[in-house]
Amino acid sequence: MTTSQWWRGAVIYQIYPRSFLDTDGDGVGDLQGIIEKLDYVASLGVDAIWVSPFFKSPMADFGYDIADYREVDPLFGTLDDFDRLLAKAHGLGIKVMIDQVLSHTSVEHEWFRQSRESQHNDKSDWYVWADAKPDGTPPNNWLSIFGGVAWQWEPRRGQYFLHNFLASQPDLNFHNPAVRAATLDNVKFWLDRGVDGLRLDAINFCFHDAQLRDNPPKPSELRTGRGFSADNPYAFQYHLHNNTQPENLGFLEELRALLDRYPGATTLGEISSEDSLATMAEYVGDGRLHMGYSFELLTDDCSAAYIRGTVENLESKMPHGWPCWAISNHDVRRAVTRWGGTSPTGALAKQLVALVCSLRGSVCLYQGEELGLSEADVPYESLQDPYGIAFWPNFKGRDGCRTPMPWSGDAHAGFTANPPWLPIPEAHRSSSVSVQDADPDSVLNAVRTFLRWRRTKPALVRGDIRFIDAPEPVLAFVRSSEGQSLLVAFNLSATPVEWTLPSGTTAHLLEDHDLASARIDGDRVHLPARGVLFARLG
């Protein structure tokens, strides 16, 4: 990869700081913990880290409610700690991407403190304010992702403010050019500090419909997916007016113009809209975002037909843009549980890493994915996530994927010397880094071997993708680049399967990737349970 386009085909390791390593004994991870474990991260063979928010925040949404974009929250450390993290990562050849939460702030941000005081001050129109209807109800029917109406009454102004997330996360008014300029100036602060990229949280939520039109209702049979449960009233609407507005494209172009002043700096946009793949195609490409990802592979549907359909749909819409794929992150149940049930196997964990790393695009791997960690069952009395508390017991929130990294098998899994902010399951301690380090057949060591092997295959890093017809549960495609064509196939079931290659296809098995091996006999492919095939064509 060229220096300026290092992100094409990169494997980006997501670090959730609260849960990575606690070095000061308060039960919450910190920047020093990341620094101490960067050698471990480098051992995985990843290209970059994405560090979830560590900025000053009251932590109502665990850092995604920012009170100061330029300060590190004391919970995590100091700016000097971040500079040391950046220097060590760069010394190890690891790029550093940070979260930027641009669409909203915390109610404790100084901008909002000023804005709420009156309808006539320097920041009065920096947030989305609206008058009540004549009967005192909110200005329209918009809903919050976290439940209930998306409007909160502010008595000091005698108006409602918009919050697409928690009521303590007011939305900025991006129709105001001063807001856009201040936002870009905050981004520039971190680019000047040397970060290599930005993961842009909820980037399609920056603008709202200036006319405040009601969202139309959605039929009950369509209230599925997109990272929230069907019983969440948010799923009852088509969200046509509270996000993904056409004005956002102009802001993305302003943002890209800033990034272009920093050679090699990249952007990765998180996109969740009514048609996320179409929005990705619109947002990603020359003059806009470098990469985008959505929730399409963060669902419960793990069929070959669904995965193929999703990727082919995006390929048809965005043939020249660059996607990024993820099957786990800090907002959804861990992939091995979603796709493997209550007793996921190591073979499944290895397969899922190979699968997401074999699609065309870049990859986000979430901390613990390399260990095959399952979703933790966090009891109600231990819940921290306000989303889960509000929707318990039908939806248990996001705490189950956010439990601390298990570094060892001791009482607190080597994460902290004191009780951690979330409980650590016994199953995670038995799958810890120290346990898996010592096992040559572990998920961890298989992932390490595979990621290094992948780097030697240009077709997997930067190649095109073309799917091949195969019966369920086989997912098969060809990756091609620089004269190299690789046949890739996965048995997505827990039982062995056989598959006949397309007529005239000759394939020679590659076996040096340390995954569940397939066999090829003539035109017959034998895939073991959760089997993986990589073969050279021709």
User: Which class for 109: exposed (0-12), middle (13-18), buried (19 or more C-beta within 10 A)?
Assistant: buried
- Does 508 map to a domain? yes
> What's the whole-number mean pLDDT along residues 228-245?
89
Set 201, 282, 370, 399: catalytic member: 201
Q: What is the bridge-based pairing of β-strands 11-15 and 362-366?
A: parallel
Distance CA 475, CA 9 (A): 20
Q: Does an H or E element contain 77, and which?
A: none
And the tokens for 467? 């799917």
Q: In the predicted model, what is the mean pLDDT of residues 98-108?
A: 98
* Residue 231 pLDDT: 75
Q: How far apart are CA 523 and CA 536, in angstroms?
A: 14
Return the higher-pLDDT residue of 309 and 230: 309
> How much is the mean pLDDT over the chain?
96
pLDDT exceeds 70 at position 334: yes
Tens-place pLDDT, residues 435-462: 999 999 999 999 999 999 999 999 999 9
Residue 439 is predicted with a pLDDT of 97
Give me the long-range contacts of 300-308 (CB less than 8 A, separation at least 24). Answer: 300/338, 300/339, 302/338, 302/339, 302/492, 303/472, 303/473, 303/492, 304/470, 304/472, 304/473, 304/474, 304/475, 304/490, 304/492, 305/472, 307/355, 307/475, 308/467, 308/475, 308/477
Q: How large a percentage of the chain has pLDDT more than 70? A: 98
Count of domains forming the chain: 1
201 is catalytic: yes
- Give residue for tokens 């009170």: 67
pLDDT of residue 500: 95
Tens digit of each residue's pLDDT (9 = 90 or more) over 76-95: 999 999 999 999 999 999 99
* CB-CB contact of 492 with 516 (8 Å): no
C-alpha gyration radius of the chain: 23
Is the link from the previous residue into 233 a cis peptide, with omega within 30 of 0?
no
Euclidean distance between CA atoms 127 and 104, whole angstroms: 9
Distance between start and end Cα atoms, the chain: 26
Q: For position 361, what pLDDT does the model report?
A: 97
Q: Could you give the CA distance from residue 367 to residue 29 in angstroms, rounded to a whole number?
A: 13
CATH number at residue 525: 2.60.40.1180
Instruction: Tell me, yes or no, whether 237 lies in a domain.
Output: no
Q: 446 and 514 in contact (C-beta within 8 Å)?
A: yes
Range of the domain at 505: 463-537
Mean pLDDT, rounded, for 356-383: 98
Residue 468 has pLDDT above 50, yes or no: yes
> b or e along 362-399 (b: 16 or more beta carbons within 10 Å of the residue's beta carbon)?
bbbbbbbbbbbbbbbebeeeebbbbbbeebeeebbbbb
Give residue for tokens 């609407």: 237
Q: b/e per residue, 430-446, with b = 16+ CB within 10 A? A: ebbbebbeeeeebbbbb
Tell me what the mean pLDDT of segment 422-430 comes to: 97
CA gap 404, 27 in Å, rounded: 9
What local confidence, expressed as pLDDT, does residue 230 receive? 62
pLDDT at 249: 98
Beta bridge mates, 50: 14, 97
User: Is residue 515 included in any domain, yes or no?
Assistant: yes
What is the model's pLDDT at position 226? 54
Q: How far apart, in whole angstroms, are the C-alpha atoms of residue 488 and residue 512? A: 14
Q: Is residue 501 part of a domain?
A: yes
Q: Would 468 be classed as within a structural domain?
A: yes
Active site residue 385: no
pLDDT digits (tens, 9 = 90+) for 481-506: 988 899 999 999 999 999 999 998 99
Q: Which residue has the higher pLDDT, 517 or 486?
A: 486
Half-sphere exposure of 477 (CA within 13 A, CB side): 22
Average pLDDT for 179-186:
98
Catalytic residue among 270, 282, 315, 514: 270
User: Residue 2: is its pLDDT beyond 60?
Assistant: no
CB contact burial 480-498 (16+ within 10 A = b; e otherwise):
ebeeebbbbbbbbbeeebe
Average pLDDT, integer, range 93-119:
98
Do residues 131 and 153 make contact, with C-beta atoms less than 8 angstroms apart?
A: no
Residue 314 near residue 323, CB atoms below 8 Å: yes
491, two tokens: 């048995």
Q: Does residue 479 lie within any of the structural domains?
A: yes
pLDDT for res 1 = 47
Residue 98 has pLDDT above 90, yes or no: yes
The per-residue pLDDT for range 120-164, each reduced to its tens digit, is 999 999 999 999 999 999 999 999 999 999 999 999 999 999 999
- Residue 453, pLDDT score: 96
In Å, what is the CA distance from 52 to each residue of 3, 101, 384? 24, 10, 17
DSSP per position, 458-483: HHHHH-EEEE----TTEEEEEEEETT
Counting Cβ atoms within 10 Å, is residue 177 exposed (0-12), middle (13-18) or buried (19+)?
exposed
**Class of residue 417 by CB neighbours under 10 A (exposed 0-12, middle 13-18, buried 19+):** middle
- Looking at residue 224, what is its pLDDT? 73
